[in-house]
Amino acid sequence: MLDQSADGYVTEDGRQIGGVLMEMRNITLKFGGVTAIENISFDIREGEIRAIIGPNGAGKSSMLNVISGFYVPSEGEVWFRGARRPQLKPYQVARQGIARTFQNIALFHGMSTLDNIMTGRMTLMKSSIGAQAIWKGAAEREETEHREAVEKIIDFLEIQAIRKTPVGRLPYGLQKRVELGRALAAEPKLLLLDEPMAGMNVEEKEDMSRFILDVNDEFGTTIALIEHDMGVVMDLSDRVVVMDYGKKIGDGTPDEVRGNQAVIDAYLGVSHD
């Protein structure tokens, strides 16, 4: 068992994980009569890669939407950086330092890779619309700075060759990478990835895993991800939450989760009667 004291812990590969960044306290989410999430609590610590796994319909995406502030839980509280988070608009969540990618890619298809990633900088732009239209002085300097940050991301994700290509023309795997780029452009404290490897082949999965590890390593970004591919999850993450039918059935390191009988049952399909 890891030492999960308030100060954090040290991972197997020697990374220091910090204190609690986000805490979910007794979250319940209901849509009419359907309970998507039932009384779940867990935390996400600074610098860790935290996975949420579970069979189809377990409530993983709903959970991610609660974290991102898109859904407001019916009961329970979300604590972020030591304070209880009130109900927020999506842009307010983004300004708090939370960025995400989507299960079904949500990019601007007619725009180039560069412009798509540039939109990720939106929340960091300070000059007014008027100043940007005239594009003199501060606004021009600001754009240069943002462009530099975006170029660093393009370099980081090795997508220089498609810098000026409209994303609609790109294959799926590359679009996923562009979407990750856009999320990174916001310089998030917490990065949410919704099935980053869905529909990818082995090579693309390996590339994406490498990028996720590198993001965590280079920028110290905390990452919460949902993923179906068990192999990938177990290799990447420091701690895993397992959900089934809206309930939390396991929480711990990949090894602990792997040995958990409830988890094995959920994945191997024990009848629920």
Partner 1 sequence: MTTKSTPQGDLVSVPALLFRNASQFGSAPAYREKEFGIWQSWTWAQTAQEVREMALGLLVLGLKRGDHVAIIGRNRPAHYWSMVAVQMCGAIPVPLYQDAVAEEMAYVLEHAGARFVICGDQEQVDKVIEVQQRIDHIDQVVYTDKRGLRKYDHSAMNWMQDVQAEGRAAETRLAGELDARIAELTYDSTCVMLYTSGTTGKPKGVVLSNQNIIETSRNSSEFDDLRSSDSVLAYLPMAWVGDFIFSIGQAYWSGFCVCCPESAHTMMTDLREIGPSYYFAPPRIFEQQLTDVMIRMEDAGRFKKWLFDRYMAVARRVGPALLDGKEVSAWDRLAYALGHLFVYGPLKNTLGFSNVRVGYTAGEAIGPEIFDFYRALGINLKQLYGQTEAGVFITQQPDGEVRSDTVGVPSPGVEVKIDDDGEVHYRSPGVFVEYYKNPESTASTKDAEGWVATGDAGFFEEGTGHLRIIDRAKDVGKMADGSLFAPKYVENKLKFYPDILEAVVFGRDRDMCTAFINIDLNAVGNWAERNNVAYASYQELAGHPRVLETIANHVGEVNRSVAEDPMLSGCQIHRFVVLHKELDADDGELTRTRKVRRAVIGDKFNDLVGALYDGSRTVSTETEVTYEDGRKGSIKATLTVCDAEVVTPGSKAMAAE
- Which residues of this chain interact with partner 1, rule CB under 8 A? 13-15, 147-148, 151-152, 154-156, 158, 160-161, 163, 202-203, 206, 210, 213-214, 217-218
| Three-state secondary structure string covering 79-122 | EECCEECCCCCHHHHHHCCEEEECCCCCCCCCCEHHHHHHHCCH
Rounded to a whole number of angstroms, the CA Rg of the chain reads 19
**Distance of closest approach, residue 23 Cβ to partner 1, in angstroms:** 27
Tokens standing for residue 213: 């590890």
**Distance of closest approach, residue 140 Cβ to partner 1, in angstroms:** 16
Angle between helical axes of 172-185 and 138-156 (0-180°, round to 10)? 130
Task: State the burial class of residue 110 (Cβ atoms within 10 Å of its Cβ: 0-12, 13-18, 19+).
Answer: exposed
**Distance of closest approach, residue 28 Cβ to partner 1, in angstroms:** 39
Closer by beta carbon to partner 1, 3 or else 13: 13
Closer by beta carbon to partner 1, 75 or else 158: 158
Residue type present at position 200: M
Residues 132-168: b if buried by 16+ CB within 10 A, e if exposed: eeeeeeebeebbeebeebbeebbebbebeebeeebbe
Closer by beta carbon to partner 1, 14 or else 86: 14
**Distance of closest approach, residue 87 Cβ to partner 1, in angstroms:** 38
Closer by beta carbon to partner 1, 191 or else 257: 191
Closer by beta carbon to partner 1, 151 or else 187: 151
**Distance of closest approach, residue 202 Cβ to partner 1, in angstroms:** 8
**Distance of closest approach, residue 17 Cβ to partner 1, in angstroms:** 14
Query: Residue 263 contacts by C-beta under 8 Å, 6 or more apart in sequence?
Result: 242, 249, 250, 257
Q: Bridge partners of 5? A: 8
Closer by beta carbon to partner 1, 71 or else 211: 211
